[in-house]
Amino acid sequence: MIGRRGRVPATCSHYACNVTTSSSYVCSSCSRQHDGPPFSYGTLAPAYWHPGLENRPGNVLGEEQCVIEGTHFFVRGRLVLPIIDAEQEFDWGVWVSVSQANFDRMAEVWDSPSRIEEPPYFGWLASELPLYKPTTLELKTNLHTQPVGTRPTVELEPTDHPLAIQQRTGITLAHVQTIAEQLLHSDRPAD
């Protein structure tokens, strides 16, 4: 179930993106035309992972699960934000810290079609999404298992955190472009 993975960045400020549209946009930050905007970004590892852990016992980073020091357990999931002026959704690929009991149970039913009948697993968001203040680390979550081959969905506790509000009320296509611009130009100082 957990496979070895090559080197990953030391922080979660590195994202993989998935451009799921053939359109493009003119960036308001640099005035250049870019593909997208992407409707999905994902952190490559939990915020607590760093390359120094890679070759030490008790540490494994796979595509879907991660274990740190044999005592901290993480599962990758999809935090979905509805887009109110489009039929498409926006996804943050995030990591959730779960208890060992929940991690073991998820592993037990990982390849079983009946896993969709599992109750939600409680966890803590373990990905820092840099566009949100206060931090997204340690937000309370419920992880909902999906059919085999599909990542679990992450439901945030309904708080007043900006990310939780966006998950409940949605974002606009213009905001999707803003996210793309901010991540693309995260090395530039804010105006």
* Residue spans per domain, the chain: 45-169
Task: Please indicate whether residue 108 or residue 37 has the higher confidence score (pLDDT).
Answer: 108
User: What are the pLDDT digits (tens) for 113-126?
Assistant: 999 999 999 999 99
Tell me how crowded residue 41 is: count the other CB atoms within 10 A of its CB: 19
pLDDT at 124: 99
* Lowest mean per-residue pLDDT among 3-12, 82-91, 149-158: 3-12
Q: Do the Cβ atoms of 101 and 132 come closer than 8 Å? A: no
Q: For 37-51, what is the mean pLDDT?
A: 92
At residue 31, the pLDDT reads: 67
**CA separation, residue 43 to residues 79, 86, 94, 113, 174 (Å):** 11, 24, 6, 27, 22
pLDDT, position 44: 94
Return the percentage of the chain with pLDDT > 70, whole number: 79
Ranges of H-type helices in 34-172 = 100-108, 162-169
Residue 22 has pLDDT above 50, yes or no: no
pLDDT at residue 76, as a whole number:
98
* Whether pLDDT at 51 is above 70: yes
pLDDT above 80: residue 26: no
Would you say 116 and 124 are in contact if contact means Cβ atoms under 8 Å apart?
no
Chain mean pLDDT for the chain: 85
User: What's the full length of the chain, in residues?
Assistant: 191
Q: pLDDT band at residue 29, thresholds of 50, 70 and 90?
A: low
Question: What's the confidence (pLDDT) of residue 189?
Answer: 44
Whole-prediction pTM: 0.83
Q: Quick check: 9 pLDDT over 60?
A: no
